[in-house]
Amino acid sequence: MERGKLELVVGLFVLVGVICLGYLAIKLGKLELVGGDYYELQADFSSTSGLKNGASVEIAGVEVGRVKKIGLKEDRAQVVLAIQDGITVYNDAIASIKTRGIIGEKFMELSPGGAGERLKNGETIVDTESGIDLEQVISQFIHGSVK
Amino acid sequence: MILIQRFGKRALFLIEEMGAMFVFLMRTFGWLFRPPVRIFQIIKQMHFVGFKSTFVVILTALFTGMVLALQGYYSLRKFGSEGLLGSAVALSMIRELGPVLASLMVTARAGSAMTAEIGIMRITEQIDALETMAINSLQYLITPKVVASLLSVPLLVALFDVVGIWGGYLVGVKLLGVSGGSYWSSIESAVEWKDVYGGILKSISFGLIISWVCCYKGYYTRMSAEGLGKATTESVVLASVLILVWDYFLTSVLL
């Protein structure tokens, strides 16, 4: 095969391969090449059991961002949320961890509040609700300590 | 007594072989970074290892994805969670099956040919002819193959993953009636950058294993037609086994 055609074919192969790689990394792997479209908020929880990095953050069921980092701050869990620019969250917002279905994945529901000031990049959501521990609820029910 | 002696001989031979392979790899690396860089040789090898493998990779990927969806569907249906089919297919594809199966296909298709090609050059004394012309045979023959494998295998694996996920979509959504939205959204929520990164890392190391083992076996083939046949068989077997063993260790480190 002559040189030009060979190079064309290999170029095509590399192009298709790189497109596949990019699709996997960016679309499915959620690799962020540009970080400009998001701002970060923090929220402290007594427990984030089951919540994972990359879990979605929703307002009224609409995805507005993702959980970026989960760490420990003193004895509470600190979650960093990446929220899309243009979504306004006020300082009386409530962040709660919820479960999709009974055995589904955990996600974060925000009720953005309305009164008060707008939260800026790096500020903290004060009102939080940890997820319901289904096992604990059931055991309370069985052992009869439900009030 | 003789039995023990044989055992010892075999063990010594294996250790010698391992050492020789390692020295071969290090020498190849040494020649990798020395000019002249023969770009056209690399392109030629990428055409052979990469482009010519695309058809067989697409075919295996399609059927792997399809059968994964079929099996996954009937297992998940017992728990009423068919919606998770997408994540089951995509995660097993990206983490394990893509890198391993694509590499095995490349070994069978391109690795055996590498060994045969270099082995015939050794037997017909073409490698010695290169050396007498002051062309380093390692640099001229081996390094383009190593570089081409390192570049091609990850691309083939990415292609394998994407085609496999689409194959799963075809069977799961079009044939078995899982909803398309839940197929894709379960993939997007389950797959993380860590998974994709691990898959790429695996495929690069498999590319190195394939070219290393197959070139070594061809380069040090015994000087007979029978020896060449043996070298080809050994290279495919050894490369495949090494891929599977290395996959286990890499997975246990990455997880």
H or E stretch including B58? Answer: helix B54-76
Q: Are residues A71 and A112 in the same domain?
A: yes
Q: Are residues A59 and A108 in the same domain?
A: yes
In a domain, A145, yes or no: no
Q: Are residues A10 and A56 in the same domain?
A: no
Residues of chain A with pLDDT under 50: none
In a domain, A147, yes or no: no
- Are B46 and B151 in contact by the 8 Å Cβ rule? The answer is yes
CB contacts, 8 Å: B44 with chain A: 6
Q: Are residues A25 and A49 in the same domain?
A: no
CB contacts < 8 A, A to B, total 83
Please give the structure tokens belonging to residue A120: 């800026």
In a domain, B12, yes or no: no
Identity (one letter) of the amino acid at B117?
E
In a domain, A43, yes or no: yes
| C-beta atoms of B151 and A14 within 8 A | yes
| C-beta atoms of A10 and B94 within 8 A | no
Identify the pLDDT of residue B55.
Answer: 93
Q: Where in the sequence is the domain holding B239, given as residue range(s)?
A: 38-254
- Determine the Cα–Cα distance for residues B102 and B95; give it in Å rounded to an integer: 12
| C-beta atoms of A28 and B94 within 8 A | yes
Q: Where in the sequence is the domain holding A22, given as residue range(s)?
A: 1-31
Q: Is the ipTM of this complex over 0.90?
A: no
List average pLDDT for each run of 10 residues in chain B, which is 255 residues long: 90 91 89 83 89 92 93 87 86 92 93 92 89 87 91 93 92 87 83 86 93 91 87 92 93 86
| C-beta atoms of B50 and A10 within 8 A | yes
Disruptive mutation site among B162, B169, B183 for chain A (greatest number of A CBs within 10 Å): B162
Disruptive mutation site among A1, A9, A10 for chain B (greatest number of B CBs within 10 Å): A10
- Determine the Cα–Cα distance for residues A78 and A128; give it in Å rounded to an integer: 11
In a domain, B28, yes or no: no
Q: How many domains does chain B have?
A: 1
In a domain, B63, yes or no: yes
In a domain, A87, yes or no: yes
Identify the pLDDT of residue B233.
Answer: 92
| C-beta atoms of A12 and B51 within 8 A | yes
In a domain, B250, yes or no: yes
Disruptive mutation site among B76, B189, B197 for chain A (greatest number of A CBs within 10 Å): B189
| C-beta atoms of A13 and B197 within 8 A | no
- Determine the Cα–Cα distance for residues A123 and A130; give it in Å rounded to an integer: 19
Q: How many domains does chain A have?
A: 2
Determine how β-strand A56-59 pairs with β-strand A106-111. Answer: parallel
Q: Are residues A27 and A43 in the same domain?
A: no
Q: Are residues A118 and A63 in the same domain?
A: yes
Q: Are residues A21 and A71 in the same domain?
A: no
In a domain, B26, yes or no: no
Total-model pTM:
0.78
Q: Are residues A96 and A135 in the same domain?
A: yes
In a domain, A58, yes or no: yes
Q: Are residues A72 and A114 in the same domain?
A: yes
Contacts of B106 (CB under 8 A, 6+ apart): B49, B53, B57, B149, B152, B153, B156, B207, B210
| C-beta atoms of A21 and B47 within 8 A | no
Other Cβ atoms less than 10 A from the Cβ of B51: the count is 21
In a domain, A67, yes or no: yes
| C-beta atoms of A21 and B158 within 8 A | yes
In a domain, B23, yes or no: no
What residue in B sits closest to A57 (Cα-Cα)? B189
Q: Is B154 on the interface with A (CB under 8 A)?
A: yes
- Determine the Cα–Cα distance for residues B193 and A25; give it in Å rounded to an integer: 6
Identify the pLDDT of residue A35.
Answer: 55
- Determine the Cα–Cα distance for residues B93 and B96; give it in Å rounded to an integer: 6
Identify the pLDDT of residue B163.
Answer: 93
- Are B46 and B38 in contact by the 8 Å Cβ rule? The answer is no
**Cα distance from A146 to chain B (closest Cα, Å)?**
30
